Amino acid sequence: MRRDESQIFDMILDGHPSRFVLGPLACLDLGRFVPHPPPVYIMDEAVAELHPRWVEQIQEGCDSYRHDTLAVRGGEKAKTLARLAEVYDWLGARKVSRDGTIVAVGGGTVLDLAGMAAATWRRGVNFVAIPTTLLAMVDSAIGGKTALNAAGLKNPVGVFHPAAGILADCGFLATLTRSAWRDGLAEMIKTAAIGDPRLFASLHHWRARLAESIGSGSPDEPIPGILGAFPWQQMIGQTAAVKAHIVNRDFRENGLRRTLNLGHTLGHALEAWSMETDRPLSHGQAVSVGMAVVFRIAAERGTCPVATAVQVIEILEACGLPVTHSSPGADSLERLLAGDKKQSARGDLRWVLPERIGKMDINGRVAIAEITKWLD
């Protein structure tokens, strides 16, 4: 695919322009988003190891004489206040000033950590995101949310700080493990269910092929030939377009943006709970269980077609994603849900409940018994 086949989505988030560029060599546009070079880089160490030449080219394209790079191990442990304090020390030692730029290169966890640092260092410096996982390309890099884990909860600490540029190149995905593909697909399926019936139909149509290449096999291995197996650039573009449209219309999550929490209310509770166990759920796995449960609840109530819930579960399972999980028990679940950062001021939790593909109710109420019924 040629560079001129790149897709661009322009957003205005809180009055600030935020541009998503998707395509081969998109990252070479980095210089356009760095008004006062050189930037500093906060980079997933796995990406630095797996793609050294590419990373070097990106850096040289932006600025040829100084590449200050902080390598961070990706994963949920990157999203802690202790890690953030280390980043501040590092930025301080490099004397990053108010007109500096932080460029984040990595998956959703490194982008969240670097985004938090960019949002708060000297009360906010310019931020550019180079997402390197499917999940980060279709979801976490877009929309200006940053978040850290704290107090045993998932993502309770965060600020809004949109990236000036989000530069996505599918080439990075060649080295992703199967489990990272699955996690990204969970958010892709969610976004398709919210806002792109055509993409949803394609995913359902491809479920046997998805099961063969992504759903089965070792979760810790990359998948040979995966980049040629599906039209990823098109699928990522379709998913990113839905998210960009939503956040552009409702940046502060007063209404429409809440649809993106489909599967996340229960997902975050299970993810936080499982972080304390020896088998933690990844973000994508937790969202998958959360989505499967709300589709089942809606289908049982008769507010969403049963056939739609069945299709959602078929796609999730084809991608090797879990559709149920052991239950923390009704009391713990209630406590975990009460800690959900999206709880309204009245303490009155509102759920995203599907009505059909492309239509969500953002003011749903769900009883604990309705949830535990669908957990093991």
The residue range among 68-76, 80-88, 313-321, 364-372 that interacts with ligand NAD, by the rule CB under 6 A, is 68-76
Active site residue 16: no
The residue whose two tokens read 């995101």 is: 129
Is 267 a residue that touches ligand NAD (CB under 6 A)? no
The residue range among 9-17, 42-50, 89-97, 248-256 that interacts with ligand NAD, by the rule CB under 6 A, is 42-50
d(CA 111, CA 174): 19
Q: Which amino acid is at 177?
A: T
d(CA 26, CA 8): 10
Scan residues 84-123 and list those touching ligand NAD (CB under 6 A). 106-110, 112
Active site residue 187: yes
Please pick, from the candidates 75, 280, 305, 339, the single residue that binds ligand NAD as defined by CB under 6 A: 75
**Number of helices (H) and strands (E), helices first, in the chain?**
15, 11
Catalytic residue, from 268, 296, 325, 350: name it. 268
Active site residue 261: yes
Please give the full DSSP string across 133-154, using - where no structure is assigned: SHHIIIIITSSSB--EEETTEE
Please pick, from the candidates 11, 40, 135, 299, the single residue that binds ligand NAD as defined by CB under 6 A: 135
Please give the full DSSP string across 268-281, using - where no structure is assigned: HHHHHHHHTSSSPP
Active site residue 36: no
Binding mask 236-265 for ligand NAD (x = CB under 6 A): ------------------------------
Please pick, from the candidates 7, 80, 175, 372, the single residue that binds ligand NAD as defined by CB under 6 A: 175
To the nearest 10 degrees (0 to 180), the angle between helices 306-318 and 197-205 is: 60
Please pick, from the candidates 22, 46, 170, 315, the single residue that binds ligand NAD as defined by CB under 6 A: 46
Catalytic residue, from 51, 79, 83, 145: name it. 145
- Considering the complex, state which of residue 11 and residue 147 has its C-beta at the smaller distance from ligand NAD: 147
The residue whose two tokens read 């009391």 is: 331
d(CA 230, CA 253): 32
The residue range among 58-66, 145-153, 307-315, 366-374 that interacts with ligand NAD, by the rule CB under 6 A, is 145-153
Please pick, from the candidates 6, 59, 126, 133, the single residue that binds ligand NAD as defined by CB under 6 A: 133
Active site residue 77: no
SS3 assignment, position 359: strand
Examine residue 231 and say whether the peptide bond preceding it is cis (omega within 30 degrees of 0). Answer: no
**DSSP H/E element including 351:** strand 351-356
Q: Which amino acid is at 277?
A: T
Please pick, from the candidates 283, 296, 325, 350, the single residue that binds ligand NAD as defined by CB under 6 A: 283
The token duo for 106 is 């990595």
Catalytic residue, from 264, 296, 325, 350: name it. 264
Please give the full DSSP string across 281-339, using - where no structure is assigned: PPHHHHHHHHHHHHHHHHHHHTSS-HHHHHHHHHHHHHTT--S------HHHHHHHHHT
Active site residue 264: yes
Least separation in angstroms between CB 259 and ligand NAD: 14
Is 153 a residue that touches ligand NAD (CB under 6 A)? no
Scan residues 288-347 and list those touching ligand NAD (CB under 6 A). none
Query: What is the separation of C-alpha 362 from the centre of its chain, rounded to a whole number of angstroms?
Result: 20
Which residues sit at the interface with ligand NAD, rule CB under 6 A? 44, 46-47, 50, 74-76, 79, 106-110, 112, 132-133, 135-136, 139-140, 143, 145-147, 155, 172, 175-176, 180, 183, 283
Active-site annotation, residues: 123, 145, 187, 243, 253, 257, 261, 264, 268, 283
